[in-house]
Amino acid sequence: MPKITSVIGLGYLGVTQAAVLASLGHRVLGIDPDQTKIDSLNAGKVPFFEPELQELLESGIRSGLLTFDTAISESAKEVDVHFICVGTPSKSDGSEVDTSFLHKALEQLAPFLKQNSTIVGRSTVPVGTAATLENYLFSITDTKFDLVWNPEFLSEGTAVRDSLKPERIVIGTNSQKGESALRDIYKKIIDKNVPVFTIDRQTSELVKVASNAFLALKISYINGVAEIAEKTGASTAKLADAMGLDTRIGRKFLNNGLGFGGGCLPKDLAGFASVAKATGAKHFGELLDSVNSINSDRRQHVHSLAVELLGNVAGKKITVLGAAFKPNTDDIRLSPGLLLAEELRREGAFVTIHDPIALPKVSEMYPKLIQGETIESAAADADLLIVATEWSDYKELDATKLRAIVKRPALIDARNILPSVEWRRLGWNIKQLGEGS
Ligand code: UGA
């Protein structure tokens, strides 16, 4: 049966959640304090790039099921299920997670809470957060509610698909009522044979961070192997293919390169390491710290390769292809390519950055980087090209055409997407990470 819902916090997760709930037939009130964002959403425009989301938003608005506002108000009194999707960024020291936006959301919601409604936390949080939030809400309202945790596992670039056909739905609760509220909401998805895993809240909180930290570990593992492969003449890509055929290991997340970035893996890894240490899992905390260090080493390694190719980077023109932290998104948070570009710029290189869609975001955060609107204009007269993100446009780079416009035919393929033998034949000095030859 269709429900009345709210989604509080409209970032990548919240907007997707709101549009998906409307597509399932529920009424959705989306809340976020950012007026510009709300204006954009009410005008039917997704304020960031996410494949398939624009169409879903437009149809939600057309159907009248989806509306957006800057604050929780009287209309929230009709809501049966509230989804909390606010950000949980790292604190300024980078290790612990800041859960203050969750407290703030509940504080604002409390006066408008409907009797026996369900609150569903979707944000990624340290273990124990749901219990703390529940106690907090008990202290500020007499209204009866259930607080359920329902971690999200969607990846940017495939968020809509991941939401409509997830590999699993995790429901963290020991309340039968809370569980059935969520099962009702997701019925159309669950009916597509999606496994539902109902567990206690602590476990549900941990599933999410443990999964993200494991993905980070897998990437750093292959990047560590890549260091050895490079020194010994081996090929990491071929090795990963062979390893990945073992179904216990699997090929996914074994692509070596410039390492992981974005708003999730680095933050969750650091938060989990801090929980590990706080709970006395000392060596595990150290393992997670090493995952992070191996990841930072990747940037350092590409930096060293640039120095090896150019002598000194100061005064050289370096073109970085790819600002987004991965393809099919315009998210540039902790993008390894951008961090590297900024380091090179600080050392005196003239760095031009190109990206198929993320350049407007680059202007806001990295105003000193030169932007190239096209690949050709970005690469003109370059002493060095660095492929930092594996956008499909870059897989099709034309070695002959580019050779005619650069100053020196030198390229670091930091995502291993180009046919290096062919490029070398066409006169390029090309380096690929983790490839010994
Ligand atoms: C990640 C998780 O994959 C999702 O399951 C999770 O729900 C999400 O975080 C979240 O917490 O919200 P996302 O940050 O969108 O999703 O991106 P990923 O696809 O995990 O990629 C993260 C980084 O790892 C990217 O920089 C990517 O380039 C890098 N990566 C990925 C590699 O370097 N090698 C690989 O083999 C795979």
Position 1 confidence tier, pLDDT thresholds 50, 70, 90: confident
Residue 177 has pLDDT above 80, yes or no: yes
Q: What's residue 93's pLDDT?
A: 73
Tens of pLDDT, residue by residue over 302-335, are 999 999 999 999 999 999 999 999 999 999 999 9
Q: Is 322 in the pocket of ligand 1 (CB under 6 A)?
A: no
Q: Is 257 in the pocket of ligand 1 (CB under 6 A)?
A: yes
Task: Report pTM.
Answer: 0.96
The DSSP result for 263-314, as a single string, is SSHHHHHHHHHHHHHHTT-HHHHHHHHHHHHHHHHHHHHHHHHHHHHHS--T
**Which structure tokens are listed for 40?**
């954009």
Q: What's residue 437's pLDDT?
A: 67
> What number does the ligand 1 atom closest to the CA of 216 have?
24
Cβ partners under 8 Å of residue 400, min gap 6:
426
Residue 39 has pLDDT above 70, yes or no: yes
Q: What's residue 192's pLDDT?
A: 96
How would you classify the pairing of strands 196-199 and 4-8? unpaired
Candidate of 48, 170, 260 to mutate for ligand 1, largest count of ligand atoms within 8 Å of Cβ: 260
Closest Cα to atom 11 of ligand 1: 264
Q: What's residue 436's pLDDT?
A: 85
Pair 35, 178: CB distance under 8 Å: no
Average pLDDT over all residues of the chain: 96
Pair 61, 39: CB distance under 8 Å: no
Cα 62 to ligand 1 centre (Å): 32
Q: What's residue 432's pLDDT?
A: 96
> What number does the ligand 1 atom closest to the CA of 415 have?
33
Closest Cα to atom 19 of ligand 1: 155
Q: Is 260 in the pocket of ligand 1 (CB under 6 A)?
A: yes
DSSP category for residue 76: G
**Which structure tokens are listed for 87?**
């950000």
Q: What's the CA gap between 86 and 32, in Å, rounded?
A: 9
Closest Cα to atom 9 of ligand 1: 264
Average pLDDT over residues 183-198: 97
- The radius of gyration of the chain's CA atoms, rounded to the nearest angstrom, is 23
**Pick from 77, 84, 127, 117: nearest CA to 103:** 84
Cα 233 to ligand 1 centre (Å): 28
- End-to-end CA distance of the chain, in Å? 60
Q: Is 296 in the pocket of ligand 1 (CB under 6 A)?
A: no
Q: What's the CA gap between 323 and 333, in Å, rounded?
A: 10
Q: What's residue 91's pLDDT?
A: 84
Residue 188 has pLDDT above 70, yes or no: yes
Q: What's the CA gap between 380 and 226, in Å, rounded?
A: 31
Tell me if residue 337 falls in helix, strand or coil.
helix
Pair 382, 317: CB distance under 8 Å: yes
Would residue 264 show up in a list of annotated catalytic residues for this protein?
yes
Q: What's the CA gap between 358 and 364, in Å, rounded?
A: 11
Q: Return the number of other C-beta atoms located less than 10 Å from residue 291's C-beta.
A: 26
Closest Cα to atom 3 of ligand 1: 155
Q: Return the number of other C-beta atoms located less than 10 Å from residue 43's C-beta.
A: 9
Distance, CA of 2 to chain centre: 30
Place of tokens 């609107």: 373
> What number does the ligand 1 atom closest to the CA of 389 have?
28
Q: Is 265 in the pocket of ligand 1 (CB under 6 A)?
A: yes
**Pick from 54, 49, 380, 436: nearest CA to 256:** 436
What is the helix (H) or strand (E) element at residue 7, kind and residue range?
Answer: strand 4-8
Place of tokens 């408008």: 112
Residue 92 has pLDDT above 80, yes or no: no
Q: What's the CA gap between 83 and 68, in Å, rounded?
A: 14
Tens of pLDDT, residue by residue over 193-246, are 999 999 999 999 999 999 999 999 999 999 999 999 999 999 999 999 999 999
Position 90 confidence tier, pLDDT thresholds 50, 70, 90: confident
Q: What's residue 173's pLDDT?
A: 97
Q: What's the CA gap between 343 and 358, in Å, rounded?
A: 19
Helix 282-310 and helix 265-278, axial crossing angle in degrees, nearest 10 = 140
Long-range Cβ contact pairs of 136-143 (< 8 A, separation 24 or more): 136/103, 136/106, 137/106, 137/110, 140/106, 140/107, 140/110, 141/110, 141/111, 141/113, 143/110, 143/113, 143/114, 143/115, 143/117
Per DSSP, helices labelled H in 141-185 are 159-164, 176-185
Q: Is 121 in the pocket of ligand 1 (CB under 6 A)?
A: no
Cα 265 to ligand 1 centre (Å): 6
Tens of pLDDT, residue by residue over 157-168, are 999 999 999 999
> How many residues are listed for the chain in this entry?
437
Q: Is 215 in the pocket of ligand 1 (CB under 6 A)?
A: yes
Find the catalytic residue in 264, 276, 309, 321: 264
Q: What's the CA gap between 131 and 169, in Å, rounded?
A: 20
